[in-house]
Structure 1
Amino acid sequence: MMDFVMAISPLVLILVGIIVLKMPAMKVAPLGLLYIIILALTYFSPADVTFQDTVSMIDGLLWKGIKEGAKIVMLVFSSFLLLNLMQRSGAMKQVQNTLADVTDDRRAQLIIVGLMVPIFLEGAAGAGSPAAIAAPFLVGLGFDPIVAIVIALLGDATPCSWGGAGLTTITGGAYLVDQGISSAALNSAMVGRIHMFGVFIIPFLIVMIAFGKKGFQGIIPYLFFSGLSTGLIMFVLSNFVGPEITSLGTGLLSIVYSVVYLKFVKIKTPEAYRYKGGSISAEKEGQTRRYSSFHALSPYLVLLIALPVVRYTVPFTTLITFGYIVWVDVVVFLCACIGCVILGVSMEGFFDTMKQTAVRVLPVLVTMGSLLTVSYVMQHSQTGMIQMIASTIADAAGQFYPAAAVAIGSAGSFITGTGLGSNIMFAPMHLNATSMLGLNPITVFAGQNAGASLGNLICPNNVVAACATVGVIGREGEVLKRTFAAFAVILSVYMLLSMVYTHMLFPNFGL
């Protein structure tokens, strides 16, 4: 038990610092890094490993953390730059009016942009792009920055099980396939049967988080429609088409269905939740420009087209040459440059916006580098900390192991910041456990996969990155408090579903 306590202590330190003590992540993360270095040099240093070897290991992981952190910061920078250009030119004002033409209900706008667009973006690119793009977009539409971050993270809580072109399920479940236990299609089908309930309840959580109980007035029929249609689309695509287009197709079709619904079924919107317009100044451009709806939206339309086109046309081996997220960084930055031309922002204005954006974003590299290094040290075989956490939970679970697998998957992505990493890390352990307990490994891995996707909602790395994209660095604690509440609700549902599926409904699925 002491090993478990010590293994989980770095996470407790970071969470207590951010949530309880309300310290900025930029201060807590370096403290967490220093603490885990001490643990790696002392408590988690194997007897057969020299001090010099441990220092060498930490040094390598530190540089890896800085390098990978820089890649994430680049995505944050590019996404934030695009938002600032939209605001500087005044195009974001017209985007608001365009959305109001679809529906003037702010709650419905939030569902479309905060849930359905992130699902599409996850399928188009993944790599943190949904929150990095959707959160600043929501801020540009006039939503509170903290609410925008929470909603964008929540919108991305389910599609991460497939990710870009089904990568998370295909590669993350490859161990089961290699062992002849399952297939990518079976893994996709079962996790889809879990997530369809998640996307059904998320619209209700979004309204509750953003507007409170009073926010449900007059919009419950639309929430049922959006949750039910999105869940059914996800179920059909994941079970009968395949993992490659589940996220992309779900996001795109759910947007189309919602727009059609809102055109034919009018929501009785209270005045408090009605979009009333307003003004957005074109800073340093002298005046607010006038754009057509298509012209104003075109920078984001270019982005939404470019991401899936590049992902599905460029060979995967080329995309991962410098790390998967790098191609997303490049595409988003190029789209920001194209947006500058489309919106008619002067070169002077473009470089001034770049400078302002960089000043606000670059300090995040310290936080990201520290948090990533903490996760790398915990994952490293020499410390075995993440394996210690997972195996302790598994040992105590018994016949409740299917529920434990969901929690383990969430813990894995909470630490690593990626559902794919969590799946790869724990798939062998789940297969061994199900063999000993006589459980279905496919349904148990589905719980792992669903939990891994959900864990992205509360991952400190993701929260810090999202805060940076909307310029609220230092308020990570406020975000985590809200995301933890939503996380707890969905986690409970997923744990129950995993138990029911494994023990009652699908005990022989795929076998």
Structure 2
Amino acid sequence: MSLGVLSLLALVPILTVLIFLVILRWPASRAMPLAFVVTAAVALLVWKVPFNQVAAASSRGLVTVIEVLFIVFGAILLLNTLKESGALHSIREGFTNVSPDRRVQAIIICWLFGSFIEGASGFGTPAAIAAPLLVAVGFPAMAAVMVALIIQSTPVTFGAIGTPILIGVNNGIGTDEKVLATAAELGMTYEAYLNSIGAQTAIFHAIIGTLIPLFMVAMLTWFFGKNKSIAEGLAIWKFAIFAGLAFTVPYALIANLLGPEFPSLFGGLIGLAIVVPAAKRGLFMPKKTWDFDRKENWDPEWVGKLQITNEAPAKKVSVYKAWVPYVLVGLLLVLTRLNELPIKGWLTSDVVKINFTEVFGTSISFASTPLYLPGTIMVVVSLICIALFGMNGQAYGRAVKDSFMTTVSAAAALLFAVPMVQVFINSGVNAAELASMPILLAESVSLLIGDNWPAVAPLIGALGAFVAGSNTISNMMFSLFQFGVADNIGVNPSTIIALQAIGGAAGNMICVHNVVAASAAAGLVGREGTLIRKTMIPTLYYIVFAGGLGFVFLYGVGFNIGTFMVLAVVAGIVYAILKGNKQSKKDQDDQIAA
């Protein structure tokens, strides 16, 4: 069978997801079982993967599903606990006091607070926390999930204390002799070479990611505003770019000076310290405040099952006290993930680890560390809230019950989505002597593209994250392949691996795994395809801009595809700023006239 035919067959599982989930907009609970069956059929019949390999890979996926559902449950439980205690009402009032403008609230909660949570824990936790929090402060559920997913981009490469670089890229290239020889030729230790990849990744991310807050608010006003106007989002361009830089500048500096562990974590904290006081003073913001239309006018498709009333609670909770649980979550996530402290070792030790070794007689082995999951921390903090806010057992019981029912609604989709991914990834063990489906697809693209590879290197990373639901797994799968392609075409391999990591981060905006989890947390199930159609827009921006920048960095400015890609994006940025400035002046004139 020719490489072209095999490539098309390897693409069938991805096309199944795109056609039924994204184009036909089937709910994930229907589309993903079909995708699983199709993927298993291609693996068994074409790749001739042994049945026990498919079963073992599916089992690994099921364990991951349980872990993801536990994270979602923990995030919703914490939110419902705050709701029952009255603390959520204070948080909502606190954001209104910072700024009643929904664009500002989205930037602070998602871009800055979400980036901090990503830096601490990763694994889709920021979207699972930010989406329901936005619903709580008055966002439509679909709008909340969309903006929460959009920030699953820039901070992701350095999420969970640098896991996508330190585990993903490291496991992908760390044992290859040619990689080690390349580092030695450059006069570097392997650790320094790995850090240099992270440093380059951060610089590219900083250039591209600075505009993500502007993208986020423009899409918010376009899809969910009363006037369906992009210009209303662009009107806040000064504040959005200011917030973008408040995160990306320290983020890039930390990555280059300290390494890959803390860019997202400290970038988020520093950004919050800069942007929140500025927002309170009204710096860089247009005079006109933007809000959603009245709830009765919202499209029913926007509304989820997570209902939060704005009624004042019987017992008032101060804003500072109301934020203590989220501060505790961030603090505990950091403390439990630092290698310098013994806590991580305790939570991941063999005593509390559940090992699955050589499942069904295959080489597939994996482990689960329940106490180390972010969900455990959020459950523990929710229990602390009982004493912190003086809650009774009945109120906490309601929070647990509501959270469990919301989490169960996401189970059907994830029970097939994640096993499908694992079968796809683990298809390399087969009687047909073929590379795994994702690697074969990547090799086909590289043969087709040739020297123009830097322009599409991020696309491979995004593809890996889309199917695997993880920047770390994408980097693990494709980093060595990207190194090999770079070596073959004679360009700097570390730059190509950096572009892989950037694409892998961007792919998190559209991966089914994250979309289902964030939707469930916001009580919005069955509209995953609609959300992916929306988040494909910033994903495409990220991939194109990264590919163009990488190409220009390696080959220079000239009459080439990379230069055209960069110029197209820059032209779009200039147009957006001019349009935003025009809208801002119009809003000011309207306010003066009123």
Q: Say which SS state the counterpart of residue 278 (structure 2) adopts.
A: helix
Worse-superposed segment, 488-497 or 296-305: 296-305
Answer whether contact 2:115 2:126 (CA < 8 A) is retained.
yes
Unaligned runs of 5+ in 2: 184-192, 223-229, 295-306, 354-366, 431-435, 558-594
1:446 match:
498
Match of 2:519 in 1: 467
- Correspondent of 2:399 among 326, 332, 353: 353
Structure 1 position 484, deviation (Å): 0.7
Contact map agreement 2:454 2:551 (CA 8 A) in 1 = yes
Q: Is the 8 A contact 1:319 1:327 kept in 2?
A: no
Which secondary structure state, in structure 2, belongs to the residue aligned with residue 345 of structure 1? coil
Q: Please give the residue correspondences for 1:148-163 in structure 2 after superposition, counting only pairs within 5 Å.
A: 148-163=144-159
- How far did residue 280 of structure 1 move? 5.8
Cα distance in 1, alignment partners of residues 343 and 6 from structure 2: 44
Displacement, 1:324?
A: 6.2
Corresponding residue for 1:332? Answer: 378
Residue type of the alignment partner of 2:262: I
Tell me, in whole angstroms, the C-alpha distance in 2 between the residues paired with 1:217 and 1:153: 19
| Partner of residue 59 from structure 1, selected from 35, 55, 58 | 55
Corresponding residue of 1:509? none
Q: Residue 367 in 1 paired to residue 413 in 2?
A: yes
SS in 2 for 1:483: helix
Preserved contact between residue 99 and residue 109 of structure 1 (Cα < 8 Å): yes
Write out aligned runs for 1:17-416 (5 A).
17-45=20-48, 54-174=50-170, 175-176=172-173, 179-180=179-180, 181-182=182-183, 183-212=193-222, 213-216=230-233, 218-266=235-283, 267-273=285-291, 281=309, 287-312=313-338, 313-314=341-342, 316-320=344-348, 321=353, 322-323=367-368, 326-380=372-426, 381-382=428-429, 384-416=436-468
SS at match of 1:340: helix
- Give the Cα separation in 2 of the matches to 1:447 and 1:40: 29
Cα contact 2:406–2:521 (8 A) shared by 1: no
TM-score (norm 1): 0.91
1:457 pairs with one of 487, 492, 509 = 509
- 8 Å contact kept, 1:105–1:269: no
Residue 217 and residue 269 in structure 1: after superposition, are their counterparts in 2 closer, same or farther (change >3 A)?
farther
Task: Work out the CA distance in 1 between the residues paired with 2:504 and 2:121.
Answer: 18
Task: Kindly indicate whether the alpha-carbon contact (under 8 Å) linking 1:120 and 1:252 is maintained by their aligned counterparts in 2.
Answer: yes
Task: State the shift of 1:319 in Å.
Answer: 4.6
CA shift, 1:448, in A, is 0.3
How many pairs does the alignment contain?
494
Deviations 1:37-80 (A, max 9, x none): 2222211216xxxxxxx221122122222111011000001101
Give the letter aligned to residue 203 of structure 2. R
Counterpart Cα distance in 1 of 2:290 and 2:157? 36
- Give me the identity figure in percent: 25
Offset of residue 215 of structure 1: 2.2
Three-state SS of the structure 1 residue aligned to 2:261 is: helix
Aligned-partner residue type, residue 22 of structure 1: R
Query: Is 1:488 paired with 2:540?
Result: yes
Q: Distance in 2 between matches of 1:356 and 1:369?
A: 21
Amino acid paired to 1:98? G
Spell out, residue by residue over 1:111-155, the C-alpha distance to the aligned partner (whole angstroms, 9 max, x if none). Answer: 011111121111111122111111111111111111111111111
Change in 2 beyond 3 A, CA 1:194/1:271? closer
Residue 11 of structure 2 corresponds to 8
Worse overlay, 196-205 or 351-360: 351-360
* 212-221 or 131-140, which deviates more: 212-221
1:303 Cα deviation from its structure 2 partner: 1.3
Unaligned 5+ segments in structure 1 are 47-53, 506-511
What is the Cα deviation at residue 459 of structure 1?
A: 0.4
Which 4+ stretches in 1 moved above 6 angstroms?
Answer: none
TM-score by length of 2: 0.79
Structure 1 residues 168, 316: CA separation in 2 closer, same or farther (over 3 Å shift)? farther
Q: Is the 8 A contact 2:457 2:500 kept in 1?
A: yes
Offset, 1:102? 2.3
